[in-house]
Chain A
Amino acid sequence: MPETAFEEELDRLAVESLYGPDEPAAQRQARLEAFERYRSLALPDERTPGWRRTDLAGIDLKPVSPAHSTCAIRISDADKQRGVVATSLDAATGNGMLATITKLRGGLTLGKFSALTRSLWQGGGFVRIPDGAVLADPIEIEWLSGPYPRLVVIIGKGAQASVVERQGTDARLISGVVDLFVEDGAILRYAHVEECSPNTVVFSHQHASVGRDAKLITLNFAIGGKLARADVEVELQAPGAESDMLGLVFGEGKQQFDFHTLQGHRSHDTRSDLLFKNALDDDSHSSYTGVITIDKGAQRSDAYQANRNIMLSEGARADTEPMLEIEADDVRCTHGATVGPIDEETLFYVESRGLSPDDGARLIVEGFFSEVFQKFGDARVTQALAAKVSPHLIRVAAR
């Protein structure tokens, strides 16, 4: 279906008519609120907070018309028997499976595009892992079409699972929204894999809330797109909640990657860790902005944040802005950021073992990335991701 850009002809009525009279009232309410939010915000430009480092020259941000977003959800037979539910999101809200519609209220920093998706989504994906289920295999979700993909994953108390969401569609503009709910004692590994075509502007707004003694490990893996932006927000809501946030970017050509993260310590006795690693070739550009917030009363919070950048070419550019906002005193909070080329000494060491400089460089970048993969803790997921990066690294080595 040829996409058409829409301007301001989209009004409340159009948003209401997307679903017809059967739409649950609370869901409609959430969509209309998001729509008002969308309308209140101007299209981002270089002066918009959070967009200052994005080069918007030649990038068309005009929203595209609403259309159905569909995904394929693959669950192993064994896990189906464990009671995992997978359906489209509108089916889930329509038949009451997703009863707590308040869960659709949305993330913290509702920007122009996540507000748009929250108001215009159709179709979407929904996964619910029942309490106590320990899944045998990763759940794979692959987006097939649609400009406003929306995914909700709920993992029940004490359950354990890995979920991989893949976005590889070719379109002018895609704006996705993901909501993750990690209930008490659950462990969720979630990987967002972005490998869109080099013409695609792709946004992903991910919001997670993590319950008591629960653990969430997220990995944002990005190698595609013309401009790829992800806003990843994790809120640790109860004591014992933990979050590991991982990121991996390989940039080439004129690709731009813009990652924003939030580690929100809402409760005392919570722990978060973050490691975002970027390797930038050609004229690619990465911009990382990360905030750790520790709320008043969130005592004994422990937070760490690291952003590491390897510059593979003269034209590459890395911006990094790691931030701390701390309002409790009994905390441990540290962040670090580095930017530099491949370490000369390491390269020398590798070459002294008989490798060519190019192979050495490739090995070092592989090693640089492997820390991220290891921390994710599910090799079935990360082996496939490593395989996706390696052709790019060989290209570097072959230069």
Chain B
Amino acid sequence: MALKEQALVDNDYKYGFHDQTASYSFKSRKGIDHDIVEQISLMKKEPQWMRDFRHRSLDIFLSKPMPPWANLELLGQINFDDIYYYMRASDVEGKTWEEVPEDIKRTFDRLGIPEAERKFLGGVTAQYDSEVVYHSMRKDLEAKGVLFSDMDTALREHEDIVREHFATVIPPADNKFSALNSSVWSGGSFIWVPAGVHVDIPLQAYFRINAESMGQFERTLIIAEPGSFVHYIEGCTAPTYSSNSLHSAVVELIAKEGAHIRYTTIQNWYKNIYNLVTKRAIAQKNAHVEWVDGNIGSKLTMKYPSVYLMGEGARGDVLSIAYASEGQHQDAGSKMVHAAPNTTSLITSKSVSKGGGRTTYRGLVKVYEGCDGVRSNVRCDALLMDPESRSDTYPTMEIDAKNVRIEHEATVSKVGEEQLFYVMSRGLTEVEATTMIVNGFFEPFVKELPMEYAVELNRLIALEMEGSVG
């Protein structure tokens, strides 16, 4: 049986290798101050407004306290002075696969990017540490006028569009980590979809933290003009390291009238990474934004993808899963802010805690006064695999309108004895049966993923479940 064979495989982190990338062409010293920020901006030859923005953001970061409601025990372990805030692995961006340096290619090979490329994926923007090193885009996308590049390139080539939208959804002062990102951001994706254009194939980027104590602060901005559609996929894996790394991204989505954006993330950082991410979308009239968000890795994830429903008829969906095993805390959730009438939102969250892991759902549904006809449904399910694990649910609903329909429901339970008994009566071992049930629990999420992701996720869960039943 495949599962039995896998049990013989090393149970450690699947992508637990790392390349000896010693040839960083530029690496700032550790720590953060105005000099570092100035240096980053100079290196990137940025316009003055961006440089000012970075300095302003740094002041905000330095003055803001940690969020008091967070897991301060884990957050307190971050030593901000012991992190590299900027480095560039290669000076020249590879325009074709052949131009990408050999050691970086090897890393991507193991992640399966070339295979994905060979399939139907439209553009690949693979980020190696801070800078985008490889970027290709299919001709038909270009023909449609879709802009898809890394953020630094976008700032150079489409400064007007960037300036108009950058930090309008998530201002630096939003929280301590968005301020940090705003001051040292590097890389990330920029997508602009012209009005009425439907991008049929998912756009994809791979992120990967490679250097020890290397913060990764990518910045993603997606703008869907009226009536357009785009699906963006972001997947993360990171190699093994001994000391803590920090990943703090800012992702801004703008769905204009009638536009539809779907943003899929699979987060599988290694278990010493702090993943503190701010993701927010604005949905204008009749727009639709979907966050599909999977959290498997990292030491501490704090991520609450949100949709601000600003125009009548806008819709926001979040479908998320979280898996926490020993030493992990997945603090994830979602925010839906209804600022216009007849807006709807749906949040579905599923979590599994195992081996002393902790999952937290933290959410907000807010309805402003006068927003009649709002509908919101929040559904959280948590599975606990053993008595050492923990699950928390902290939803908040603030409702300031009368003619609305707001529903929230959450359950916490263990794998049902009857379910187990039934599956085992079909000849499976307890481990296999439990794995099957957990996979079934995540099914609504998995079926929303492109196939290669779905396969990988199922395999990851099978690996994680090994040894979970004793």
- A residues touching B (Cβ–Cβ < 8 Å)? 49, 53, 296-297, 299, 309, 311-341
Contact = CB atoms under 8 A, between A and B. Distances in A.
B402 A336 contact: no
Given A311-B402, A313-B402, A314-B402, A322 B390 contact: no
B109 interface: no
Nearest to B414: A329
Contacts of A332: 411-413
B396 A326 contact: no
A326 B381 CA distance: 13
Residue in B369, B402, B404 with the greatest tally of chain A CB atoms within 10 Å? B402
A340 B394 contact: no
B394 A338 contact: no
A339 B392 contact: no
A340 B387 contact: no
Contact of B404 (A296, A323, A327, A339): A339
B307 to A, nearest CB: 19
B458 interface: no
B68 interface: yes
Contact of A321 (B389, B394, B402): B394
B182 interface: no
B382 interface: yes
Most chain B C-beta atoms within 10 Å of own C-beta, residue among A325, A326, A338: A326
Contacts of A327: 387, 389-390
A249 B347 CA distance: 28
* Chain B: interface size category: 35 or more
B384 interface: yes
A321 B395 contact: yes
B103 interface: no
Nearest to A53: B398
Contacts of B394: 321, 323
Contacts of A311: 399, 401-404
Contact of B396 (A299, A319, A333): A319
B392 A323 contact: yes
25 contacts: A296-B387, A296-B388, A299-B387, A311-B399, A311-B403, A317-B398, A318-B397, A326-B382, A326-B384, A326-B392, A326-B412, A327-B387, A329-B389, A330-B414, A331-B412, A331-B413, A332-B412, A332-B413, A335-B409, A336-B410, A338-B406, A339-B404, A340-B405, A340-B406, A341-B404
Given A326-B390, A333-B413, A338 B408 contact: yes
Contacts of A325: 390, 392
A195 B408 CA distance: 30
Interface of B: 68, 369-370, 382, 384-414
A333 B395 contact: no
Contacts of B408: 320, 322, 335-338
Given A337-B409, A338-B405, 6 more contacts: A296-B388, A309-B399, A319-B396, A331-B384, A333-B413, A334-B411
A51 B384 CA distance: 32
A324 B395 CA distance: 9
B371 to A, nearest CB: 11
A49 B67 CA distance: 12
Contacts of A339: 397, 399, 404-406
A91 B400 CA distance: 48
B412 A324 contact: yes
Nearest to A317: B400
B434 to A, nearest CB: 12
Contacts of B392: 323-326
A313 B386 CA distance: 46
Given A296-B387, A332-B413, A334-B409, A319 B395 contact: no
A392 B389 CA distance: 48
A297 B387 contact: yes
A53 B68 CA distance: 16
Given A311-B399, A321-B397, A335-B393, A340 B412 contact: no
Contact of A331 (B395, B401, B406, B414): B414
Contacts of A321: 394-397
A260 to B, nearest CB: 14
A319 B399 contact: yes
A73 to B, nearest CB: 40
